[in-house]
Copies of this chain bind each other. A is one copy, B any other.
Amino acid sequence: MQIWRINVNTQTLVKESVPTSWEELGGRALLARIMLDEVEPLCEPLGPKNKLIFAPGLLVGHMLSSTDRISIGAKSPLTGGIKEANAGGRTGFHMASMGIKALIIEGMPAAPGLFCLHLSLAETGAVWESASNLTGLGVYETAKVLVQKYGDKVAMAMIGPGGEMKLSSAGIQNIDKDRIPSRIAARGGLGAVMATKGLKALIFDHTGGQKPPIQDVESFKIAQKDYTTQLLAHPQTALYRDYGTQAMPRMADGFGALPTRNFSSGHFEDVDSISGETMRDLLIARAGESNPTHACMAGCTIRCSNIFGGEDGKTIVSPLEYETVGLMGSNLGISSLDDIGRMNWQVNDLGLDSIEIGAALGVACEAGLMKFGDAARALELIDEIRRNTPLGRILGMGASTTGKVLGVERVPATKGQAMSAYEPRAIKGTGVTFATTPQGADHTCGLTIRARVNHTDPRGQAAVSLPAQLNMAGYDSLGACIFAGFGFAAAPTAIPQLIKARYGWEVPANYLQELGRQTIKMEREWNRRAGFTKKDDRLPEWMTREPLPPLNTVFDVSEEDLDTIFDNL
């Protein structure tokens, strides 16, 4: 494996050997190490000193079910802290096949203008081609043009108009196995960072590449089978195949934790209209292009994704997921999945994070710019973003900036990043995660809703959040999807065995947690150098003051618990 280093100022690629201290890291862990080693924590996120880094997880490249994810990182223009956002699709697999352990994009272009950067194993290596024909184009159209030009064997990562506008809610879209740019490394504004590097798209052409070497193929296969068997046997896998993440609305609502009308309630009276059960029935009935089950990565056995089609059988958006339904549905008082799907498509096409935009629209409702439930107005507001108006820019900068500019205190965010669809006053362990994760509020940093605890008891929640955070940081470093955990948890020796077989490393039984521990420790150190203090490990003050119906709880986990959660890392 090699490090590929791109300088966008000189438009050059240098291939480097992997430094010793980076060798045993991948994905999120490797990003943290590279950030510590190379990115000045006080740098301007959209300036020349920031770096955009792509790193597949340690187990990527073998079509291990749900384990080919790509981690993308930089200093976040949204949070000002370290950022890792990961996604499915093809990018991780292709990079691994090309032998790229990490791609580091640095510098600032000498002149304005966007490029497509074609990376391959050919002697040319890196080729910059003008993207002037793609400038301002949405990601769906962009992907079509690129597939036409570069063929359907490549992987691609691209930004939409939102990234070009340097909006802090802009992500990086990766094409999936069907060449649709639907797998977004959504959070933290990485799309804006990519724009400052002068890149509209990255093309990964793995022609001539091969799967990463495996030291002990037999042992790898045994562990893989163990893991896959457990994954397939797990009841949640069937549930996620049928409903995907959309299994959540009813569950969250049942806990009084479904964000509703800008996080003013944990119960949505129309939850049934937006539930996975309703959605599945609808998609089966509508048929046509609709499909309640779809895989985002080749080889995935869960296939939690879906194709959400309309009455006419045509695709409205793919996939439609719980976080979007929570933030753009109940959080906005909108109960039509078709409406939510259409909003989702627009936001995707702009290359924006649907969680951040959903939360920003919720804040805009509070400011009187839209009535809760008014999907037509929501689409108008999204169009303000597309038209790059001042109001559109406010919303595109995310929920925190929207609240600040519009004078709304009730903003559901930590470290400047909007919360995903779990009300932290009702699921307090997840509140601890939202408050303390180095990444800013995010559901993929350690959910606790499945823990068998009293979620409204403020005591002991740090102890529930911590292992969840370590697990997720570990999975993010392996390239494993959050749902792979159902299999790995039931096959506890699989991960150490896979690592041993793949790399020859002897790792401890608690390797996953250990990898997570290292990762979070590095991330916190980087954030510390970037000026983060315990003030950044807090939920917003109003959540400690305003009781949340229907349980009427406030967030009352002690500050001591928040401040000491990582003491023994």
Contacts and interface: CB of A to CB of B under 8 A. Distances in A.
Given A394-B394, A397-B404, A531-B536, A542 B409 contact: no
Interface string A35-69: 00000011110111100000000000000000000
A86 interface: no
Interface string A471-497: 000000000000000000000000000
Contacts of A127: none
A542 B44 contact: yes
A406 interface: yes
Main secondary structure of the interface of A (DSSP, over half): loop
Contacts of A534: 531
B401 A404 contact: yes
Interface string A130-168: 000000000000000000000000000000000001111
Interface string A388-412: 0111011001000100111101000
Contacts of A41: 535
Contacts of A531: 531-536
Contacts of A532: 531
A46 B533 contact: no
A136 B390 CA distance: 23
Copies of this chain, tallied across the complex: 2
A409 B536 contact: no
A5 interface: no
Interface size class of A (residues with CB under 8 A): 35 or more
A211 interface: no
A536 B42 CA distance: 9
A401 B405 contact: yes
Interface string A529-541: 0111111101011
Contacts of A391: 390-391
Interface in A84-107: none
Contacts of A401: 401, 404-405
Nearest to A41: B535
A393 B409 contact: no
Interface in A438-486: none
Contacts of A405: 390, 393-394, 397, 401, 405
A466 B394 CA distance: 39
B46 A409 contact: yes
Given A390-B391, A401-B401, A44 B535 contact: no
Given A394-B390, A531-B535, A166 B407 contact: yes
A47 B411 CA distance: 13
Given A47-B409, A405-B401, A541-B49, A42 B393 contact: no
Residue of A44, A407, A532, A541 with most chain B CB atoms under a 10 A cut-off: A407
Nearest to A47: B541
Interface string A155-183: 00000000001111000000000000000
Nearest to A541: B44
Interface in A233-271: none
A464 B44 CA distance: 28
Contacts of A43: 541
Contacts of A397: 404-405
Interface in A351-367: none
A390 B165 CA distance: 18
Nearest to A390: B391
A92 to B, nearest CB: 30
A405 B44 CA distance: 15
A213 to B, nearest CB: 42
Contacts of A545: 47-48
A407 B542 CA distance: 29
A196 to B, nearest CB: 9
A535 B530 contact: yes
Contacts of A168: 404
Contact of A44 (B166, B393, B540): B540
A102 to B, nearest CB: 25
Interface of A: 41-44, 46-49, 165-168, 389-391, 393-394, 397, 401, 404-407, 409, 530-536, 538, 540-542, 545
> Which 3 A-B pairs rank lowest in CB-CB distance, beginning with the nearest?
A531-B535, A390-B391, A531-B533
9 contacts: A44-B409, A44-B542, A168-B404, A393-B405, A397-B405, A531-B531, A531-B532, A531-B535, A533-B533
